[in-house]
């Protein structure tokens, strides 16, 4: 099923969504502890980079909204399989909700990532598809664990 959509309207929706993500990123980054440095926000600390990334995202999105507004003629395009991004967004919301409710980052991530890997793999459902998804899931979680928990000493 295809959906015909306006380029301008789609751009506005996505840009406002990314601006909201940036605002939430700035808001939640305020809670990051400063590791005892005791200096202001403009010094390179743990919260500096996420806040700056959020500010840059806001500025770029605002500039993009202005450039889309100045476009003379709107274009339309067909969006095939528009249900796929909606399902991916739903899985993302479930992942964030479960993580916030129960904690257990790696367990919740494993379940949601397994759902993503099985859903996005175009092969027909089979034991091979499930085994491949489990292996990919294990490698991704192992790399995440080694990078963040062991390497950077960040606990989720």
pLDDT given at position 120: 85
**Average pLDDT for 139-147:** 89
Partnered with residue 4 across adjacent β-strands are 78
CA distances from 86 to 12, 20, 89, 118, 135 (A): 17, 18, 5, 16, 26
Per-residue tokens: 19 = 């601006």
pLDDT given at position 155: 72
pLDDT digits (tens, 9 = 90+) for 37-94: 555 545 556 677 888 899 999 999 999 999 999 988 888 888 777 788 888 888 889 8
pLDDT given at position 67: 93
How many CB atoms within 10 Å of residue 19?
19
The pTM (predicted TM-score) of the whole model is 0.54
């Amino acid at each position: 099923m295809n959906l015909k959509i306006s380029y301008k309207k789609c751009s506005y929706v996505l840009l406002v969504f990314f601006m909201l993500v940036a605002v939430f990123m700035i808001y939640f980054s305020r809670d990051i502890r400063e590791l005892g440095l005791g200096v202001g926000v403009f010094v390179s600390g743990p919260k500096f980079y996420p806040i700056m990334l959020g500010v840059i995202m806001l500025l770029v999105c605002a500039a993009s909204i202005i450039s889309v507004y100045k476009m003379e003629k709107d274009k339309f395009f067909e969006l095939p399989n528009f249900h796929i991004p909606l399902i991916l967004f739903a899985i993302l919301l479930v992942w964030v909700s479960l993580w916030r409710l129960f904690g257990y980052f790696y367990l919740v991530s494993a379940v949601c990532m397994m759902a993503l890997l099985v859903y996005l793999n175009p092969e027909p459902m089979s034991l091979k598809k499930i085994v491949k998804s489990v292996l990919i899931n294990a490698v991704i979680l192992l790399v995440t664990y080694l990078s963040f928990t062991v390497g950077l000493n960040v606990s989720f």
